[in-house]
Structures are given as structure tokens and as C-alpha cells.
Amino acid sequence: MDTIIEYFKAMGERYADGSLVYPLGTTIQALGVTAGGLIGVFATLGIFFLMIRLANLISKKPK
């Protein structure tokens, strides 16, 4: 995980004049945030989904 973070951090490095060391470095950083963000949103909402399903199962009255 640390290696991945270090890689995306490096993408934001700039020369003294402010230009990016790696062309499209900021866009690559944005791609990293996108991947992490989408996984995070799906995973978090997935936990809520399981929570609701579990609650519905528990509350189901036996026929």
C-alpha cells in the first residue's frame, strides 16, 4: 500500500519553475483518487447493504 501511495505522490513532483516532472502526473494522481474513491464508495455502501440485509433477515417473522 505504501508503495502505491509513494508512486502517486511522486506523480505530483514539480521542477522549480512549477512544471510537472512527469507529464500528466496530476492526471495520474486523479486516476489514483478515482480508483481509491470508487472502491471506497462501493465497499462502504456494500457494508450498509449487508447491514440492511442482515437486519431484514433477523426481523423476518417465522410463518
Partner 1 sequence: MQDVFIGFTSITWQMLLMYAIGGVLIWLAINKEYEPMLLLPIGFGAILVNLPLSVVWEHAGANGFLKILYDMGIATEIFPLLIFIAVGAMIDFGPLFKNPMMIFFGAAAQFGIFATMIIATLVGFDLKEAASIGIIGAADGPTSIFVANLFAPHLLAPISVAAYSYMSLVPLIQPPVIKALTTSSERKIHMVYHESNSPKWLKVLFPILVTMISGFVAPISVPLIGSLMFGNLIRESGVLERLSQTAQNELAYLVTLLLGITIGASMSAENFLTWKTFLIMGMGLVAFIFDTAGGVLFAKLVNLFLPKDKKINPMIGACGISAFPMSGRIVQKMANEEEKGNIILMHAIGSNVSGQLGSVIAGGMVLALVPLIYIAAGM
Binding site for partner 1 (CB under 8 A): 5, 8-9, 11-14, 24, 26-27, 29-34, 36-38, 40-49, 51-53, 55-56, 58-59
Could you give the angle at the alpha carbon of 18 between the alpha carbons of 12 and 23, nearest 5°? 50
21/19 Cα distance (integer angstroms): 7
Residue 24 beta carbon to partner 1: minimum distance, rounded to whole angstroms: 8
Q: Which is nearer to partner 1, 37 or 62 (CB)?
A: 37
Phi, psi of 51 (to 5 degrees): -60, -45
Residue 3 beta carbon to partner 1: minimum distance, rounded to whole angstroms: 13
